[in-house]
Amino acid sequence: MNLHLAVIAPLIAALLAMFSSGKDASQALRNALLLALAILGISAPLLSGGIQSTEPLTWFVLPAVGTRLRWFLATDGLSSWLVVLSALLVPAALVLGRRMAGDRMREFASLVFLMQAFMAGAVLAADLFLFYGFFEAMLLPATLLIALFGGRDRRKAATLFVVFSLVGSVPLFVSIWWLATLAPYHVASLTQSAVQLEGTLGFTELQALLAQVSPAARGWIFASFALAFLVKLPVAGLHVWQAEAYAEGPAASSALLTGVMAKVGLYGFLRILIPLFPMEAARYSGAFMVLGVVTVLVGAFLALQQTEIRRVLAFSSLSHLGLGIAALFTFRAEAQAGVVLLIVAHGLSAATLFLLAGVAESWMDSTHVDDFGALSRQSPVFAVLFALAALASVGLPGTAGFVAEFLMLLALFKGASIWLVALAGSAVILSVAYTLRLVQKLLFGKAALAEPAQPRDLHLSEGLVLAPLLLLLVVLGFYPAPVLSAARSDLLQRLPLAQAVSEDASHAAGR
Amino acid sequence: MHSPLLWLLPVLPLLGFLVNGILSLSTARTSHGPSRGLSGFVAVLFPALSFGLSLWLFQRLSHDAASIHETNVNLGLHLSEVVRYVQPLWSWFSVGDANVGFGFAYDALTGIMLLFITGIGTLIHLYSLGYMAHDRGHARFLAYLSLFLANMIVLVLGDGPLVTFLGWEGVGLCSYLLIGFWHEDLANGAAARKAFLVNRVGDLGFLLGLFFLWQILGPTVPFTYQGISEWFRDPAHLAMVGQGSVAALLTASTLLLFLGCTGKSAQIPLLTWLPDAMAGPTPVSALIHAATMVTSGVFLLGRMSDVFVAAPFTMHVIAVIGAATALWAAVTGFVQTDIKKVLAYSTVSQLGYMFLAVGVGAFDAGLFHVFTHAFFKAVLFLGAGSVIHALGGEQDMRRMGGLARKLPLTFAAMFAGWYAITGLPGGAGFWSKDLILEKTWMHGGWALYVVAIFTAVLTAVYMTRLMILVFWSPSRVDPEVEHHVHESPWSMALPLVILGLGSLGAGFAWASLVPGVDWFARTLAPVVGPAQDLLAGPEAHHPPVALLLALGLMAAFGGIVLSFVLFRSGSYRETESGELPFLSRFWTLLFDHLHAVVAVWPVLVVSWILDKVLNPLLFGLVRLVGYLVEVFGWLFRALQFSRLRLNMGLSASGALLVLLGYILVKELLK
């Protein structure tokens, strides 16, 4: 029941927010905030619920093929954390988005809720068709947010975003469709007891199905899945849309894009790609590790050169999430735990930074770092929160990011080579360089533009929605067990398979 | 033994940080800030409580150690058993092979470190009340200082390398915040950032070193100092790490860990940040960049002595780097005109001595120099701060002089510091430096000894030069400024007096020439003794003590006389203001240039190429694809956004919602 609500409540909230009465923006914000908190209340119990799933409901059967399209949700620690993460970020996005939404608060809130619903659906879906539906649907509110509430180049950014997402997801759709046509035939022929599974694309059934497909075809399907997730993440080479979308969209949507949507890319690798294609994943693991480390470096180098706040943050996200991909393909327990913690830690810190950047931009009416300065004196609360989030994002020990980075680097050290670790680690040094440059430009020095007559700072409500996120980062930095255990209890059941295959391969190579 | 109180040690100053931080933040809008009295009281109280607790713990530790020793003697055993109080708190993370707990451990080494960290820390908090009294951000300053203290305590109190690393990075952060404390001046900010960045290079080394060490130990050994020490003290394991690929791993591990130490303790090659760090307020320089934080590298080596002695090549590297740094920095200190810069290079040089001692296997001598140096360098910095305070912010020694009579107390305190650092008989530096020279002679070879003794001469020269230029020469102070020269308030004077006395007396903790006065060595013996015995073996021959003593004293006196000859007579070249001569400047910035060539420029070039070449190229590619996709023009027209589109989108999702609702109801009714 809770699972259904985790997806449906935000949808209802989207409707309510849209059609709530009153033109008054602050009234609309109050309503939306109330709804968002209610959703948080609904989602939070998932964390303590362990593994649970709903009854699969058949929506309809594809004519001529016989594959059933089902409404089938399931969750474990990882999915629950992602749902709760987005439920935590949405109130913050709403409250701080107020500055950009102006009097179109109702539309804004509605789109944010829509995004939340689809993201929750994507990570809770236990049926490949359903997953694909939500995965694609996320595109709609995200694009609309950028195109309606963004900055000067918002059309261009939205177009790039859509084009890239489609480049990633059209092959995915073709693959899934092809699998669907195979499903009844193969599954039916597997075993007697498979009757009840006949014609479905649930993940457990898919594993059996894919084992029957010819290696060449499986390789192509693997590639199409990987491409879709790599675009969402993104990685170096596919990152062109990212800086545009993050910098031109409203800060609130950038926060959700990097805070949750990019994580769906990582989630795809963790939950779908590696478990479904252990052999392919093991075979190409070296390539993915190199791609990940290259992304780490490219992101860091590009962030050093940026002069707009949110472009620095965008490339910083590119760099940090790249490490996740590199680590994941070591198939080690430390890597999985590290990546899950990275998802939560980076989601919290990066989203906070984007939201605060949005506030600063609205104060100065500029996006260029050189136009800022001395905010620590004018706006001390803002400064403290920004500095904390920045420190969390560079992975200072005592914040969750450190444990995540430590585990991922350790996994790379054990599963890959010292040189990859050294390269990825040097990007950790660079991350200090560009993040501190940003902190310095914004908070310290002298004010570049004329100072306002009245000192301005965050509203109380803005501070109140952000402070818990940072507090959580510190708590998880000292006691990450709640997140790490999510990785341990659920993911490892699936992943030893890939690890075993990769060890076999390395043994074979060694011989 | 279990001790339930250890957590209080870092938490007390942390409370001080929180209170002052909240005070500072909540009064940010007022023109005057929080009450000086309240924030000052809080700032001194909590570190003082922490100091009291360390005193009590240390007394208990000594007592326990003595009773255990007695029992052993009665049983006829010759064991020096480690007395250790532990407090494991919780499992930090436990995944796969990585099993790391969060906890504290307290033994003799930690105890001694804590005594002077919290003691000097409390004094410097007190000093700051006077020094920062006129600064608007004094509460924020005190908050950062307390946060530093909390992190420093975690660093030495951690029961494993990763807890130490938490404090290690924490002190780095506080150092960053405090160097850039006066952040309106962007130069200070740049210095702060440089300190953080250079330290991060070392910290990466630290982490990678830990990875290698972990690989040697395997997942079954608990990753705490106790576990590591016990593993390495096992003769079977020692034989194993002595050869083959394990030896290579260990060398890599220790070298990387040492790289971390060179970052935090400002040794070649990562030393460039410390002189720049003088941009911070002077109490910060005294506490962080002289007495405590910069010695963490030496502490870590002492803490992991059992690991390092198993890697002879690394030990050799440490000794050479230590000696080279000591010499280079002493020469650099010789050509500076800024009083704090002289002291900064002097600190680098003295740290070099400590690493030299550790490198030749005399961990206790190195740590003893850490201990005495904390006193005399703190008093020198605080004295310099008092001078700067009196002169209204003047730091250039070319515009000082003749201050001995105007600032008698400051002069007396700095004289004590000078007496100690030059190595005059009886001063703190006399005992500790002599010990290092002796051990270098015995285990390090004549080349290292010559470098060390030459550095001792240089130390006497540049320190005497400082005293001459500031106190003993005719005044070159701006008359306008001279009119306002005043002695500091009691809150600044008291720490000066205590630390001044300390720099005269601290050496008697281990007066090696006096039989029986070796409290320091005896206390540390259980911690670093096994490692030292392993390296040194039984003492076959006694060093020529009298000769070495004579040489050491000649170095000190010779340097002082030389300095008087050079700077007392004739014209002061230092009176010319302006930039340093080219050669001096080049020598001073030698390693900055090196960093620029090796690291900074390549990074900038690569990132410029990526941004200006690769990114546009990718964009071009996308545009090209975009034209091809024009075929699917409908797709793009569908993206002509408007209110209408939004409404349609919402309607579509509404339809979806209805559908979902239908399913939900269907399930509910089932």
Q: What is the pLDDT of residues B284-304, one digit of tens each?
A: 998 888 889 999 999 999 999
Q: Angle, to 10 degrees, between the axis of helix B186-217 and the axis of helix A418-443? A: 160
Task: Say which of B90, B207, B654 has its CB closest to residue A409.
Answer: B207
Residue B40 has pLDDT above 50, yes or no: yes
**Rounded-to-integer distance, Cα B358 and Cα B548, Å:** 19
Q: What is the pLDDT of residues B16-25, one digit of tens each?
A: 999 999 988 8
Q: Does the residue A301 lie in any domain?
A: yes
Q: Which residues of B touch A432 (CB under 8 A)?
A: 196-197, 200
Burial classification of residue B546, based on how many CB atoms lie within 10 Å of its CB (0-12 exposed, 13-18 middle, 19 or more buried): exposed
Residue A65 vs residues A58, A170, A177, A220, B657: alpha-carbon distances, Å: 15, 20, 10, 21, 27
A398 contacts B170? CB cut-off 8 A = yes
Spatial neighbors of B480 by CB under 8 A, at least 6 apart, are none
Lowest average pLDDT, out of B1-5, B45-49, B61-65, goes to: B1-5
Task: Tell the residue number behind the tokens 């690929």, with chain if given.
Answer: B245
B196 contacts A144? CB cut-off 8 A = no
Q: By the CB < 8 Å criterion, does A460 face chain B?
A: no
What pTM, to 2 d.p., does this model score? 0.90
Along chain A (511 residues), what's the average pLDDT of each consecutive run of 10 residues? 85 84 76 90 85 75 70 83 93 88 83 92 85 88 87 83 83 83 56 43 71 83 91 87 88 90 89 84 90 93 91 93 92 88 94 92 84 82 92 92 93 88 90 91 78 72 90 94 75 47 47 39
Judge contact between B578 and B449, C-beta under 8 A: no
Q: Which residues of A touch B184 (CB under 8 A)?
A: 374, 444-446
B183 contacts A421? CB cut-off 8 A = no
Q: Does the residue A239 lie in any domain?
A: no
Q: Which amino acid is at A340?
A: V
Q: Which residues of A touch B95 (CB under 8 A)?
A: 333-334, 337-338, 407, 484, 487-488
Q: What is the pLDDT of residue B573?
A: 54
B622 contacts A163? CB cut-off 8 A = yes
Spatial neighbors of B213 by CB under 8 A, at least 6 apart, are B161, B228, B250, B253, B257, B307
The closest alpha carbon to A302, from B165, B158, B526, B608, belongs to B608
B100 SS3 class: strand
Give how far B186 is from chain A: nearest CA, Å.
5
Task: Tell the residue number behind the tokens 């040489």, with chain if given.
Answer: B551
A333 contacts B607? CB cut-off 8 A = no
- CB contacts under 8 A, A 337-366 vs B, are 337-338
DSSP-assigned beta bridge partners for residue B90:
B102
Q: Which residues of A touch B207 (CB under 8 A)?
A: 406, 409, 425
Q: What is the pLDDT of residue A70?
A: 77
Q: Does the residue A136 lie in any domain?
A: no
Q: By the CB < 8 Å criterion, does A484 face chain B?
A: yes
A159 contacts B196? CB cut-off 8 A = no
| B92, B93, B663, best to mutate vs chain A, most A CBs in 10 Å | B93
- Taking the CA atoms of residue B27, residue B29, residue B35 and residue B36 in that order, the dihedral angle to the nearest 10 degrees is 110
A425 contacts B208? CB cut-off 8 A = yes
Split at pLDDT 50, 70, 90, the class of B478 is confident
Beta pairing class for A68-71 and A57-61:
antiparallel
What domain range is A316 assigned to? Answer: 284-511
Residue B4 has pLDDT above 90, yes or no: no
| Chain B residue whose CA is closest to A396 | B169
Task: Tell the residue number behind the tokens 């010759």, with chain if given.
Answer: B78
Q: By the CB < 8 Å criterion, does A475 face chain B?
A: no
Task: Say which of A114, A298, A397 has its CB closest to residue B165.
Answer: A397
- CA A411-A423-A345 angle, to 5 degrees, is 55
Q: What is the pLDDT of residues B257-282, one digit of tens each?
A: 999 999 999 998 898 999 999 988 99
Q: Does the residue A189 lie in any domain?
A: no
Split at pLDDT 50, 70, 90, the class of B632 is low
The 8-class DSSP code of residue A54 comes to P
Residue B661 has pLDDT above 70, yes or no: no
Give the count of beta carbons closer than 10 Å to the beta carbon of residue B617. 10
First-residue to last-residue Cα distance in chain A: 53
Residue A427 vs residues A266, A409, A432, B191: alpha-carbon distances, Å: 20, 12, 9, 21
Task: Say which of A114, A446, A484 has its CB closest to residue B93.
Answer: A484
- CA B153-A394-A324 angle, to 5 degrees, is 120
| Chain A residue whose CA is closest to B96 | A333
**Rounded-to-integer distance, Cα B443 and Cα B184, Å:** 50
Q: By the CB < 8 Å criterion, does A294 face chain B?
A: no
A414 contacts B97? CB cut-off 8 A = yes
Task: Say which of B166, B204, B650 has its CB closest to residue A18.
Answer: B650
Q: Which residues of B touch A141 (CB under 8 A)?
A: 649
Q: Does the residue A362 lie in any domain?
A: yes
Spatial neighbors of B198 by CB under 8 A, at least 6 apart, are B263, B270, B272, B273, B595
Residue B485 has pLDDT above 50, yes or no: yes
Q: Does the residue A291 lie in any domain?
A: yes
Mean pLDDT of chain B: 85
Q: By the CB < 8 Å criterion, does A58 face chain B?
A: no
Task: Tell the residue number behind the tokens 């996120």, with chain if given.
Answer: A469
Q: What is the pLDDT of residue A509?
A: 45
Q: What is the pLDDT of residue B109?
A: 92
The closest alpha carbon to B340, from B264, B289, B268, belongs to B289
Q: What is the pLDDT of residue A495?
A: 47
Q: Which residues of A touch B629 (CB under 8 A)?
A: 163
Please state whether the peptide bond connecting residue B88 to the residue before it is cis, i.e. omega within 30 degrees of 0: no
Burial classification of residue A102, based on how many CB atoms lie within 10 Å of its CB (0-12 exposed, 13-18 middle, 19 or more buried): exposed
Q: Which residues of B touch A71 (CB under 8 A)?
A: 660, 663
B88 SS3 class: strand
Q: What is the pLDDT of residue A191?
A: 40
Q: What is the pLDDT of residue A126?
A: 81
Q: What is the pLDDT of residue A505?
A: 46
Give how far A305 is from chain B: nearest CA, Å.
7
Spatial neighbors of A217 by CB under 8 A, at least 6 apart, are none
- CB contacts under 8 A, A 202-261 vs B, are 237, 239-240
Give how many domains chain A has, as a whole number.
1
Residue B576 has pLDDT above 80, yes or no: no
Q: What is the pLDDT of residue B318?
A: 95
Q: Does the residue A501 lie in any domain?
A: yes
Q: Does the residue A23 lie in any domain?
A: no
Model ipTM value: 0.89
Judge contact between B382 and B492, C-beta under 8 A: yes
